[in-house]
A and B are shown apart, each in its own frame.
Chain A
Amino acid sequence: MAMISEEHNKEKLGFEETELRLGLPGGGGGIVNGDFGKNTNANGKRGYLETVNLKLNLSLKETEKGENLQKEKNLISCSNNAVKPPTKTQVVGWPPVRSFRKNVMAVQKSNSEEGVGGTATFVKVSMDGAPYLRKVDLNMYKSYQDLYGALGKMFSSFTMGKCDSQGMMDFMNESKLMDLLNGSDFVPTYEDKDGDWMLVGDVPWEMFVGSCKRLRIMKGTEAIGLAPRALEKCKYRS
């Protein structure tokens, strides 16, 4: 055992300093933190595999299992004649599909996953006072509540006024609406297909997704100018 730790120190000196790392932050260094037999997760090399595996959507567990079994064989027994068959599910680099291809397919897949008609509905979202724009895929959400939740996370000072159970604004009650708009809360508005700016929540969710071209989160007081038009449109639609 003593010999092993001596070797260990030796290689910690020489090996660590110069090896290239691609581990996740805090991934540690060297081979293993301790003895060879441990199949720990806490080392830079494993971190590299993690990084790669995440990118490739490979299941880390399966690969680790395979890798660790191999390592045990190599470092402890070293008497293997045959290579252990790989685990049924994902093996590194198999099937042999180039990373470039994997990445392109993954991007296309995620874009079309929630798609209505197979395409994504990305719209720009701006918030008054925020220094950046964001983009959201409206097809990722199933209701106004979902959308508000996501917007809230993106723009943390954004808070939504009260909505009914479906997230639709109760525009039929003019006084409620005026309360909301007079507050300092931010209010989500959107530009529809006709180029008009509307308050979000005035139409059923699916119709909104189909007609929304961009989103703007503005101060309640600024949105007041929209209210009469919004009410008009509501009346026209209902």
Chain B
Amino acid sequence: MAQSFPEDVLEHVFSFLNYDKDRNAVSLVCKSWYEIERLCRRRIFIGNCYAVSPEIVIRRFPDVRAVELKGKPHFADFNLVPEGWGGYVYPWIVSLARAYPWLEEIKLKRMVVTDESLELISKSFKNFKVLVLLSCEGFTTDGLASIAANCRNLRELDLGESEVEDLSGHWLSHFPDNCTSLVSLNISCLGSEVSFCALERLVARCPNLKTLRLNRAVPLEKLPNLLCRAPQLVELGTGAYSAEIQSDIFSNLAEAFLGCKQLKGLSGFWDVVPAYLPAMYSVCSRITSLNLSYATAQNPELVHFVSQCSNLQRLWVLDYIEDAGLEALAASCKDLHELRVFPSDPFDAEANVSLTEQGLVAVSEGCPKLQSVLYFCRQMSNAALVAIARSRPNMIRFRLCIIEPRAPDYLTLEPLDTGFGAIVENCKELRRLSMSGLLTDRVFEYIGTHAKKLEMLSIAFAGDSDLGLHHVLSGCESLRKLEIRDCPFGDKALLANATKLETMRSLWMSSCSVSFGACKLLGQKMPRLNVEVINERGPPDSGPESCPVEKLYVYRTIAGPRVDMPGFVWTMDEQVSSSLSRVTERRGD
């Protein structure tokens, strides 16, 4: 039946498929569909840059316009992955430059990007449009200068929260005068001052600019100059939101905001001076996304501002909002779907703010659309978790961080197994879960039994034995990413569920009880997995085989063991048992 449609009809039909999942499904139907699909796939997403090689990608998909790559494991965000681990994008860029001269978009997350890579990008792709670098590192403002200077049709430059070596703000002036194509510019992570004149002129000549996220060095007094030149902005990230309190600064600011009728999203707010928050009141009712997570404003100014935003869908805020603020939020923002509350003082054992589980319960009960939560607090109870689970069966992402590791239910001193159990049992669509507090193997039994749609699970300081890990690996059918730290999980569960690991993107285990011997065995048994041991203290075979490894990162791959590992990473492949010492010596050459 497939042969009855001419190729171009099929291709046309396939052009409506944008999700990788759909395209992957379509390519499995038959050989001719596989062939047609691969020739017309334009967007590639690679969740682990080591799962596949550039050559394999290029061989299958000859005409790609957009590539998205992710490098380091998620726990790299919390300094658990040592420097030099990997995630280098340069070899990818070299291959992509050769194969896809018409590549338009590159999005990278947690990768090491050098100025060399940026320069190569800027010179290799004539129609380059979108560069997004999230949580990347390794480049300087010189690399940005190449992008600005050479990418004639640049639409989007988003530096996310990357670590950029800031040599000077001069790079921005490299955008040529005839560059008018910018739609999105996010330089919020940069420390140094860019030339305000250059920025102003750039903003003025880009009529399609919708997103502008400034860095801290852009002073508040100058913000109106930019807003007046870009009244069409939809997303704004302010620079430092502070100035001496002067009525002319305030009125200029208020007037400029009044002109921004399309503004839907706000962020920035470093060094916030609360007296200036009311300057934005005219836009509040249209705001759907508000990121105040770097704003150290406190109540009442903070909650007063947030409550003005009755159409808020996404709020990121510091715990200065407190329970009272969250209760007010629950009453005024009925459209809320995402809440993230970050800790203002995460390393203080004592609470510096009055934020408890009550705030989260209030929002869960008051906001019927709430589906995504990230919440840091210092106390939690099973009762609260059960209440949240019952109010919000539509929860999709639930990440709770109780600051003290292994903290029990503060009311009953019991583990929080029941609470998290209620979450997975009631929230049948739950895709992402991060847990904390005192947890026994029982919670993992609940998770294995109920969390059938769970794709990503983060566990820390939890569990009693291998049984915990076994429940998760054997029960969670949709699991793709599992990251574990400081849990007493070891060899038995890992080896018993070795084949499960091939159905997942990756597994991270650090400070657990997985022995070197088990890692070797896993590596030998599973040729399509890369089993990488990270041991900073020395080669894993320098102690007995039963010695636990420091960190373990296992991921499926069709590219074989990687070749760019630093000295503290060992791959457990088929040859490992006889050749570890050989490998070590080879490295010494």
Residues of A at under 8 Å CB distance from B?
7, 10-11, 13-20, 22, 31, 36, 45, 48, 52, 56-58, 70-71, 74-75, 78-83, 85-86, 88-102, 104-105, 108, 111-112, 118-119
Contact = CB atoms under 8 A, between A and B. Distances in A.
A97 B78 contact: yes
Nearest to A31: B538
A142 B144 CA distance: 42
Given A13-B584, A99-B77, 14 more contacts: A13-B585, A19-B566, A20-B83, A20-B566, A45-B536, A75-B543, A78-B543, A78-B544, A82-B488, A91-B405, A95-B376, A98-B161, A100-B189, A101-B161
B78 A93 contact: yes
A49 to B, nearest CB: 8
Interface string B529-554: 00000001111001110111000000
B567 A15 contact: yes
Interface in B371-397: 376
A94 B273 contact: no
> Considering the complex of A and B, which 3 residue pairs feature the smallest CB-CB distances, nearest first?
A19-B567, A20-B84, A14-B584
A56 B346 contact: no
Contact of B273 (A17, A58, A118): A118
A89 B349 contact: yes
Nearest to A100: B161
Contacts, number: 152
B586 A94 contact: no
B567 A71 contact: no
B584 A119 contact: no
A111 B79 contact: no
Contact of B78 (A82, A96, A118): A96
B585 A14 contact: yes
Contact of A78 (B403, B547, B568): B547
B405 A94 contact: yes
22 contacts: A13-B584, A13-B585, A13-B588, A14-B539, A15-B588, A18-B587, A22-B83, A22-B84, A48-B82, A74-B547, A82-B513, A88-B349, A89-B347, A92-B79, A93-B80, A94-B78, A95-B401, A96-B401, A96-B460, A98-B161, A101-B161, A101-B293
A15 B584 contact: yes
Contacts of A86: 405, 461, 486
B342 A10 contact: no
Contacts of A83: 486-488, 511-513
Contacts of A119: 242, 244, 271, 273
B511 A101 contact: no
A57 B79 CA distance: 13
B163 interface: yes
Nearest to A49: B536
Contact of A14 (B536, B566, B587): B587
Nearest to B376: A95
B135 interface: yes
B53 interface: no
Given A18-B587, A88-B349, A96-B77, A45 B537 contact: yes
B294 interface: yes
Contacts of A71: 537
A95 B270 contact: no
Contacts of B511: 70, 83
B548 A80 contact: yes
Nearest to A58: B347
B544 to A, nearest CB: 6
A53 to B, nearest CB: 9
B83 A104 contact: no
A27 B588 CA distance: 20
A78 B546 contact: yes
B158 to A, nearest CB: 14
Contacts of B296: 108, 112
B173 interface: no
B74 to A, nearest CB: 9
Given A45-B536, A74-B547, A119-B271, A10 B78 contact: no
A65 to B, nearest CB: 15
A7 B401 CA distance: 42
B576 to A, nearest CB: 15
B83 A48 contact: yes
Contacts of B487: 83
Nearest to A75: B543
Contacts of B83: 20, 22, 48
B346 A95 contact: yes
A93 B161 CA distance: 18
A108 B271 contact: yes
A11 B537 CA distance: 11
Contacts of B75: 93
Given A83-B511, A94-B460, A112-B296, A15 B78 contact: no
A58 B273 CA distance: 29
B342 A97 contact: yes
A18 B163 CA distance: 25
Nearest to A71: B537
B246 to A, nearest CB: 13
Given A15-B567, A100-B189, A80 B588 contact: no
A17 B585 CA distance: 10
Nearest to A109: B296
A159 B441 CA distance: 68
Nearest to B549: A74
B232 to A, nearest CB: 29
Given A88-B349, A94-B405, A95-B401, A10 B271 contact: no
Nearest to B271: A108
Contact of B343 (A97, A108, A111): A97
B266 to A, nearest CB: 17
Interface in B211-250: 242, 244
A20 B79 CA distance: 16
Nearest to B487: A83
B344 A105 contact: yes
B577 interface: no
A181 B55 CA distance: 75
Interface in B244-294: 244, 270-271, 273, 293-294
A91 B513 CA distance: 18
Nearest to A90: B347
Contacts of B161: 98, 100-101
Contacts of A52: 79
Query: A17, A18, A89, A93 — which one has the most chain B CB atoms within 10 A of its CB?
Result: A93
